[in-house]
């Protein structure tokens, strides 16, 4: 006699069968990925570093995947519009984001950020780093030691230009103030480019931009770079010491750029994208383009990228609190 089949057993068998079918279907979908164009969200207007990196990597990645990658510039709200779109996108690999260092800062300096900078994203790979620097007018101090001595002799008299409250150029300046124990006055601009322009005209005494907008000016003698906020000297300005070499510890800050997606992105898709981006950044033509942008190429694992973002989130929260910066 056969064993009776209850309704509950029927339901269990049916549920299991559905689960198997869904699993197989998902695997087939992932195996076919990508079968249509991929959207690359850039949370800034065209023309900036994130946009340039997105287009360079997008072209290479599109060729490797056999699909076009469409750049979608979604500027506004300090990059939150584009990031929110990425966080809320379907986790199918067809919406990706070029993330940068502001990703770990916004939550500390702005109110009502509509996403969690770690939990709502999948971290695929870190693409590149652009170290921040301390730049002064050529008529200013010749070394970081001299700059600190001048600042300490005139507390609250020296100022630095920065690209908006809560920007990485602002927080780098605040981190330096805390580390060097000096009192500088932050002067906000709509962009760090405008701050650098005023530094060229000696309207401000210093600025903390990243390498790209400073290298040409430094080589032409229009600016003097006193220190680079990296663990080692920058290849594009090898004569400039790091902050650590100049006696100030803890000032290691880069504007980073990485490939991200919404949370719960399937591991097979993450692995595919990671492998192709690593190949792309290691290609000689990409290295040459990034070098021209003063960008240090990186090809981290997803776990390394996520760990870096988590550490940055904690660090900037501490700096914002110590500097007394209030969320806007």
Q: Which residues are 26's β-sheet partners?
A: none
- Percent pLDDT > 90 in the chain is 83
Tell me the mean pLDDT in the region 34-59: 94
pLDDT of residue 24: 43
Whole-model pTM: value is: 0.86
pLDDT tens, position by position, 225-276: 999 999 999 999 999 999 999 999 999 999 999 999 999 999 999 999 999 9
Task: Provide the mean pLDDT of the chain.
Answer: 90
Q: Which pLDDT band, with edges at 50, 70 and 90, does 30 fall under?
A: low
In a 10 Å sphere around its CB, with 0-12 CB exposed, 13-18 middle and 19+ buried, how is residue 98 labelled?
buried
- Show the tokens assigned to 78: 């300090």
pLDDT tens, position by position, 68-122: 999 999 999 989 999 999 999 999 999 999 999 999 999 999 999 999 999 999 9
pLDDT of residue 212: 87
Where residue 206 falls (left for φ over 0; alpha for ψ -120 to 50; beta otherwise) is: beta
**Rounded to 10 degrees, what is the CA torsion of 222, 227, 230, 234?**
50
Asked whether residue 310 carries a pLDDT value surpassing 50, the answer given is yes
Asked whether residue 205 carries a pLDDT value surpassing 50, the answer given is yes
Spatial separation of the C-alpha atoms in residues 259 and 273, rounded to whole Å: 9
pLDDT of residue 15: 45
Asked whether residue 158 carries a pLDDT value surpassing 80, the answer given is yes
What CATH topology corresponds to 36-129+254-323? Answer: D-Maltodextrin-Binding Protein; domain 2 (3.40.190)
Q: Which pLDDT band, with edges at 50, 70 and 90, does 31 fall under?
A: low
Strands (E), the chain: 38-42, 69-73, 95-100, 121-131, 133-136, 159-162, 185-188, 206-207, 224-228, 254-262, 296-297
How do the domains of the chain map onto residue ranges? 36-129+254-323, 133-228
Do 36-129+254-323 and 133-228 fold alike per CATH? Answer: yes
pLDDT of residue 48: 87
Q: What strand order describes the sheet that includes 69-73?
A: 69-73, 38-42, 95-100, 254-262, 121-131, 296-297
* Peptide bond connecting 179 to the previous residue in cis, omega within 30 degrees of 0: no
Q: What are phi and psi of 51, to 5 degrees?
A: -65, -45
pLDDT of residue 6: 35
What CATH topology corresponds to 133-228? Answer: D-Maltodextrin-Binding Protein; domain 2 (3.40.190)
């Amino acid at each position: 006699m056969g064993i009776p089949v209850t309704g509950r057993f029927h339901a269990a068998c049916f549920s299991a069968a559905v689960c198997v079918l869904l699993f197989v279907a998902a695997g087939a979908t992932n195996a076919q990925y990508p079968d249509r164009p991929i959207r690359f969200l850039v949370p800034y207007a065209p023309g900036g570093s994130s946009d340039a990196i997105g287009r360079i990597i997008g072209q290479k990645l599109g060729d490797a995947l056999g699909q076009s990658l469409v750049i979608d510039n979604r500027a506004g709200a300090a990059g939150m519009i584009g990031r929110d779109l990425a966080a809320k996108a379907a986790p199918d690999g067809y919406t990706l984001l070029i993330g940068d260092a502001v990703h770990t800062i916004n939550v500390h300096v702005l109110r009502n950020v509509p996403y969690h900078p770690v939990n709502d994203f999948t971290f695929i790979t870190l693409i590149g780093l652009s170290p921040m620097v301390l730049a002064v007018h050529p008529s200013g101090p010749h070394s970081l030691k001299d700059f600190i001595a001048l600042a300490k002799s005139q507390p609250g008299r020296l100022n630095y230009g920065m690209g908006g409250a809560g920007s990485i150029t602002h927080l780098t300046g605040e981190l330096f103030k805390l580390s060097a124990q000096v009192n500088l006055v932050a002067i906000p601009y709509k962009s760090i480019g405008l701050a650098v322009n005023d530094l060229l005209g000696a309207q401000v005494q210093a600025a903390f931009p990243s390498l790209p907008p400073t290298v040409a000016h430094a080589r032409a003698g229009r600016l003097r770079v006193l220190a680079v906020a990296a663990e080692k000297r920058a290849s594009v300005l090898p004569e400039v010491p790091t902050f650590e070499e100049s006696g100030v510890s803890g000032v290691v800050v880069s504007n980073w750029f990485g490939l991200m997606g919404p949370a719960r992105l399937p591991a097979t898709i993450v692995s595919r994208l990671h492998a192709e981006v690593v190949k792309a950044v290691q290609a000689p033509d990409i290295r040459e383009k990034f070098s021209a942008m003063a960008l240090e190429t990186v090809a981290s694992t997803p776990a390394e990228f996520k760990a870096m973002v988590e550490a940055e989130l904690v660090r900037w929260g501490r700096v914002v609190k110590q500097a007394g910066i209030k969320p806007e």
